[in-house]
Amino acid sequence: MLSLAVMDSLRAAYRVADVRAAEAGLAATVPGGTLMARAAAGLARRCGTLLGESGGRYGARVLLLVGVGDNGGDALLAGARLARQGVAVGALPLDPARTHAAGLAALRAAGGRVVDAVPDRVDLVVDGIVGLGSAGGLRPAAAAAAAAARAARPRAGTRPVVVAADLPSGVAPDTGDVPGAAVPADVTVAFGCLKPGLVVGAGARCAGRVEVVDIGLGPWLRAGPALRVATEADVARWWPRPGRVTDKYRRGVVGLATGSAGYPGAAVLSAAGASAGPAGMLRYAGPARAAVLAAHPQVVATGAVAEAGRVQAWVCGCGLGTDAAAAATLRAVLAAPVPAVLDADALTLLVDGGMADLLRDRAAGVVLTPHDGEFRRLAGADPGADRVDAAQRLAAWTRCVVLLKGDRTVVADPAGETWVSPTGTAALASAGTGDVLAGLLGALLAARVPPLRAAVAAAYLHGRAGRAAAAAGAVTAPDVAAALRRVVPRTGEPDPVRD
Ligand SMILES: NC(=O)C1=CN([C@@H]2O[C@H](COP(=O)(O)OP(=O)(O)OC[C@H]3O[C@@H](n4cnc5c(N)ncnc54)[C@H](OP(=O)(O)O)[C@@H]3O)[C@@H](O)[C@H]2O)[C@@H](O)CC1
Ligand SMILES: Nc1ncnc2c1ncn2[C@@H]1O[C@H](COP(=O)(O)OP(=O)(O)O)[C@@H](O)[C@H]1O
């Protein structure tokens, strides 16, 4: 079993059509039934461990919720393995006449039973209702069976543990959309690779802990992944490490064109986020300089972008306002030949101020950081159910990197390379945390991290910081900034005494 936490090469998510093509290629090279057997073995292994952790396999009661396709077949074959290990396994077929025949025969031969209702006592539920073949919301009969199974009495705890085969039923595999009822899982055992629905949107919340079983699909996944899941190792690899001989300018100077007389806090928060990053120096340009200097005396502050001096990246928009002065600030930032983060009011100004076209001709990289409302303003429509596609389309159209904020923040570049951060937490849904994110992102750009990587790393660390801050109590944006300083990768400077 390859846990999502440790397995780097299986951190890419593939769409259904690509998974099915890979499966067809691999299936032609191995005896019939091999892939299902591998999938079922991985599923049974994981269920066995979970039962081991909650009172042991002997006497444990497992209920299989069995749909009409191969997903149900996987559940039945896994159930057969568990039955052979002394587990009492019952299978509830949702449409008995259309149940996977070989799976059913294997279960019966191993001593498993077919039941026509959810038993009173269930310790573990295997959700084999529907996987890759999912279309639309979970059907009412399936939803009712799943609800009854979740309400059964376990020997330990308050409800049975739920393990999804490949995907939680009710989740759209390609998008993570949950258009109706779904079966929330504690653990999802994904076969062969991740699917986008396990790592983005509402689907990610339904999937619980996701683990991938290697069934040999890897070499056959010839199309590029739909998206990649960022890891701690990615962020550590991308994080700049200053050489022994460096100075503040070589580490990079970040410019902050943020805040206004009305919203000085946004400038302070963007400076706090930038201070946690790898840049060597911060320059602030705008009307909130007194507030910025009071909180961050290390910042060099001026009143306007033109007076700020040289920087290697700009952050523009947080609390900037949308008046004529703000528009002039954005225009100055866009005219600078360095990468830029455009957030909040800068995004509104791009549309209302007719500046969106300037993005496409800009040579230096730009990262746009919209939440859903800002996305709607930029794209003319909501992101909708497919957040990956939404981010990719906006990135292609604007020729910018797009960081689409949310529970699982999605980052796409104009060429279509797409990542998701798995670290999101509702604790971040608090005013001003976006300003902290923009500042950190700007510092990474100033330190010459390429825009896509900078955006992925910033989103990842921002989520980690939100979680760390939440562990200590209620979370405000300054708490996220403070936690950020603790979760960023250490620079790995050798100890001069020992080395
Ligand atoms: N590809 C691979 O690499 C490997 C795949 N493997 C396994 O195969 C699985 C895919 O199997 P699959 O293709 O038979 O489809 P599957 O998900 O069982 O759905 C079947 C039927 O469910 C129904 N249904 C649809 N939507 C529904 C809804 N909302 N609510 C309720 N019911 C709904 C619909 O039937 P209908 O009633 O419309 O005729 C549909 O045809 C995959 O997830 C993995 O487990 C592994 O064993 C080996 C490697
Ligand atoms: N429900 C949620 N779960 C996880 N993260 C969230 C949620 N809501 C918002 N966030 C995160 O919180 C941050 C809020 O940013 P933003 O909306 O720009 O706030 P502000 O403008 O107040 O600074 C984003 O990074 C976003 O991804």
Q: Which atom of ligand 1 is nearest to the CA of 35?
A: 48
pTM of the model: 0.94
Going along the chain from its start, the domains and CATH numbers come out as: 2-226 (3.40.50.10260), 232-487 (3.40.1190.20)
The residues lining ligand 2, judged by C-beta closer than 6 Å to any ligand atom, are: 344, 371, 405-407, 409, 424-426, 428-429, 431-435, 437, 462
155 vs 53, 54, 88, 415, 456, CA distance in Å?
12, 8, 13, 52, 43
How far apart are alpha carbons 78 and 63 in whole angstroms?
11
Q: Which of 70, 139, 166 to mutate to test the pocket of ligand 1 (most atoms within 8 A of CB)?
A: 70
489 vs 4, 97, 239, 333, 338, CA distance in Å?
20, 56, 7, 29, 25
Query: Is 302 assigned a ligand-binding role in the annotation?
Result: no
Token digits of residue 470: 């939440």
Q: Which residue(s) pair with 3 in the sheet?
A: 211
Is 431:402 a contact under the CB 8 Å cutoff? Answer: no
Task: Identify the residue whose tokens are 């200053």.
Answer: 242
- What angle in degrees, to the nearest 10, is found between the helix axes of 264-275 and 433-446? 50
How far apart are alpha carbons 73 and 301 in whole angstroms?
65
Query: Is 127 assigned a ligand-binding role in the annotation?
Result: yes
ipTM: 0.92
Q: Is 161 left (phi over 0), alpha (psi -120 to 50) or beta?
A: beta
The string of DSSP codes covering 436-464 is: HHHHHHHHHHHTT--HHHHHHHHHHHHHH
Token digits of residue 339: 């990468």
Q: Which atom of ligand 1 is nearest to the CA of 134?
A: 26
Kindly give the distance from the C-alpha atom of residue 69 to the centroid of ligand 1, in angstroms, as a whole number: 5
3-class SS of residue 204: helix
Is 246:218 a contact under the CB 8 Å cutoff? Answer: no
Is 208:186 a contact under the CB 8 Å cutoff? Answer: yes
How far apart are alpha carbons 128 and 169 in whole angstroms?
8
3-class SS of residue 237: helix
pLDDT score at 490: 84
How far apart are alpha carbons 451 and 238 in whole angstroms?
11
Kindly give the distance from the C-alpha atom of residue 371 to the centroid of ligand 2, in angstroms, as a whole number: 7
Phi, psi of 340 (to 5 degrees): -145, 150
Q: Which of 203, 202, 195, 318 is nearest to 262 (CA)?
A: 318
Query: Is 136 assigned a ligand-binding role in the annotation?
Result: yes
Kindly give the distance from the C-alpha atom of residue 71 to the centroid of ligand 1, in angstroms, as a whole number: 5
Kindly give the distance from the C-alpha atom of residue 311 to the centroid of ligand 2, in angstroms, as a whole number: 27
pLDDT score at 162: 98
3-class SS of residue 428: helix
Q: Which of 407, 430, 484 to mutate to test the pocket of ligand 2 (most atoms within 8 A of CB)?
A: 407
Q: Residue 153: CA atoms inside 13 Å, Cβ hemisphere, count?
A: 3
What tens-digit pLDDT sequence spans the chain (499 residues)? 444 433 444 699 999 999 999 999 999 999 999 999 999 999 999 999 999 998 889 999 999 999 999 999 999 999 999 999 999 999 999 999 999 999 999 999 999 999 999 999 999 999 999 999 999 999 999 999 999 999 999 998 899 999 999 999 999 999 999 999 999 999 999 999 999 999 999 999 999 999 999 999 999 998 889 999 999 999 999 999 877 667 787 889 999 999 999 999 999 999 999 999 999 999 999 999 999 999 999 999 999 999 999 999 999 999 999 999 999 999 999 999 999 999 999 999 999 888 888 898 899 999 999 999 999 999 999 999 999 999 999 999 999 999 999 999 999 999 999 999 999 999 999 999 999 999 999 999 999 999 999 999 999 999 999 999 999 999 999 999 999 999 999 876 655 565 4
Q: Which residue(s) pair with 483 in the sheet?
A: none
Kindly give the distance from the C-alpha atom of residue 73 to the centroid of ligand 1, in angstroms, as a whole number: 9
pLDDT score at 311: 98
How far apart are alpha carbons 246 and 232 in whole angstroms?
26
Q: Which of 176, 75, 60, 74 is nearest to 122 (CA)?
A: 60
Kindly give the distance from the C-alpha atom of residue 316 to the centroid of ligand 1, in angstroms, as a whole number: 47
3-class SS of residue 340: strand
pLDDT score at 496: 57
